[in-house]
C-alpha cells in the first residue's frame, strides 16, 4: 500500500497519508513529513530520541505528535526515519524516534496546522490529510 502522497497546495505542504491502523498512520505521517523536506543527512549512524505527546481529542494527537517531532528535530538537528511506540492510547503516546543527524533540510516546516486536517476510515484502513506551514 502507498504510504503517502504530496498534494498540490498554493503556499504550504499538503500530504495525504494511508495506513492499516492508527499506529502505522502516525509512523507514515512522520516519515512523510521528514522525507518531504529532504534532510541533508550527515554521517551513517542513528540515535534514539524519546518523544511524548498528549491531546484532549483523539485526532489532534497526530498533530501534536508531529509538532513535537518538529520541535525535537529543530533543537537537536536531526531527522526521523522511524518510530517505535512504547505506549499508544487515544489521548497520549510515548515512543522512541529513530533519528539521524542532519545539516539542515531543503525545506522548513514551521508547524503542523489543524486546517483541513482529517482522519477517515477507508476499506483498507485509515487515511489522513495534513497541511504543514512551510
Partner 1 sequence: MIDLKNIKKLTDFLFEIPKDFRADMRVPARVYATDKMLGQIADDRSLEQLVNVAALPGICKYSLAMPDMHEGYGFPIGGVAAMDADTGVVSPGGVGYDINCGVRLLRSALFFEDIKDLLRSVAHQINRDVPSGVGRGGDLEFAPQELDLILNKGARRMLALGYATKRDLEYIEEGGCSRWADAAKVSDRAKRRGHDQIGTLGSGNHFLEIQKVEEIYEPNIAAKLGLKKDQIVVMIHTGSRGLGHQVCADYVKKMIPKLSEWGIELNDKELAAAPLNSPEGKDYLKAMAAAANFAWANRQMITHLIRGAWDRILGSEGLDTGLELVYDVAHNMAKIEEHEVDGKKIKLCVHRKGATRAFGPGRAELNALHQETGQPVFIPGTMGTSSYLLVGTDEAMAATFGTVCHGAGRRMSRKAAKRKATGAEVRKNLEQMGIVVECASSHGLAEEAPDAYKDVDEVVEVVAHAGLGQKVIKLKPLAVIKGG
| Residue 1: how many other CB atoms lie within 10 Å | 9
74 vs 86 by CB, closer to partner 1: 74
**Residues paired with 4 in a beta bridge:** 17
Among 5, 21, 58, 133, binds partner 1 (CB under 8 A): 133
The answer to whether 6 contacts partner 1 (rule: CB under 8 A) is yes
Q: Taking the complex as a whole, how short is the minimal distance between the CB of residue 45 and partner 1, in angstroms?
A: 19
CA 52 to chain centroid: 13
**Residues paired with 100 in a beta bridge:** 79
- Taking CB under 8 A as the rule, which mask of x and - marks residues 26-45 in contact with partner 1? -----------xx-------
100 vs 125 by CB, closer to partner 1: 100
Of the candidates 91, 26, 82, 16, which has an alpha carbon nearest to the alpha carbon of residue 60? 91
Q: Which of residues 43-102 bind partner 1 (CB under 8 A)?
A: 56, 60, 64, 67, 71, 73-75, 77
Among 49, 94, 101, 113, binds partner 1 (CB under 8 A): 113
Helices 60-76, 22-36: inter-axial angle, 10-degree rounding: 40
Amino acid at each position: 500500500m502507498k504510504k503517502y502522497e504530496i498534494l498540490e497546495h498554493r503556499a504550504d505542504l499538503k500530504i495525504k497519508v494511508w495506513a492499516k491502523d492508527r499506529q502505522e498512520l502516525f509512523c507514515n505521517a512522520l516519515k512523510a513529513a521528514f522525507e518531504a523536506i529532504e534532510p541533508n543527512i550527515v554521517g551513517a549512524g542513528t540515535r534514539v530520541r524519546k518523544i511524548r505527546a498528549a491531546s484532549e481529542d483523539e485526532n489532534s494527537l497526530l498533530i501534536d505528535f508531529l509538532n513535537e517531532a518538529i520541535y525535537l528535530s529543530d533543537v537537536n538537528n536531526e531527522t526521523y526515519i522511524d518510530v517505535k511506540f512504547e505506549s499508544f492510547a487515544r489521548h497520549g503516546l510515548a515512543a522512541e524516534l529513530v533519528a539521524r543527524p542532519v545539516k539542515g533540510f531543503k525545506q522548513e516546516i514551521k508547524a503542523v496546522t489543524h486546517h483541513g486536517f482529517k482522519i477517515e476510515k477507508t476499506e483498507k484502513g485509515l487515511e489522513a490529510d495534513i497541511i504543514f506551514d512551510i
